[in-house]
Amino acid sequence: MAKENSRIRRIADQIQRDLSVLIQQEVKDPRLGMVTINAVKVSRDLSYADVYFTCMVFGDDADAEQARREQEKLLNKASGFLRSMLAQALKLRVMPQLRFHYDEVIESGARLSGLIDEALRQDKSRHRGDE
């Protein structure tokens, strides 16, 4: 069981490395911006690989959200091409289908960090007011 899990983890790591290079060098869609592959989770039977990515987006929240959805749509459209390129690089009996998801962990972490900083500032100002 542990050996199987380490194999799945190694496959996921290799898919992550290869996808990063393939998206940068092989995908020629000019609408696709700077994409970073954060994590890949492969199912135990190798049928699916969930790929979590982030991208550089500028603008207000509504524009950024629209751009993220567009990037996710573009990557999912290119998933067949990327899967075939991965199949040439990785010698697996079964190549997982790629499903791209925008990774919101970084944004939520930054938001939480900002909330913590604000709470600390308020706490310091209350303690100064008590003195």
Q: What is the pLDDT of residue 29?
A: 83
Q: What is the pLDDT of residue 3?
A: 62
Q: pLDDT digits over 52-74, tens only? A: 998 877 767 778 788 888 999 99
Q: What is the pLDDT of residue 4?
A: 64
Q: What is the pLDDT of residue 1?
A: 47
Give the predicted TM-score (pTM) of the model: 0.77
Domains of the chain: residue spans and CATH: 2-104 (3.30.300.20)
In which residue ranges of the chain is pLDDT below 50?
Answer: 1
Q: What is the pLDDT of residue 27?
A: 87
Residue 101 β-bridge partners: 52
Q: What is the pLDDT of residue 16?
A: 95
Q: How many Cβ atoms are within 10 Å of 42's Cβ, its own excluded?
A: 22
CB 40 within 8 A of CB 15: yes
Q: What is the pLDDT of residue 114?
A: 82
Q: What is the pLDDT of residue 81?
A: 94
Over the chain, what HEC string results? Answer: CHHHHHHHHHHHHHHHHHHHHHHHHCCCCCCCCCEEEEEEEECCCCCEEEEEEEECCCCCHHHHHHHHHHHHHHHHHCHHHHHHHHHHHCCCCCCCEEEEEECCHHHHHHHHHHHHHHHHHHHHHHHHHHC
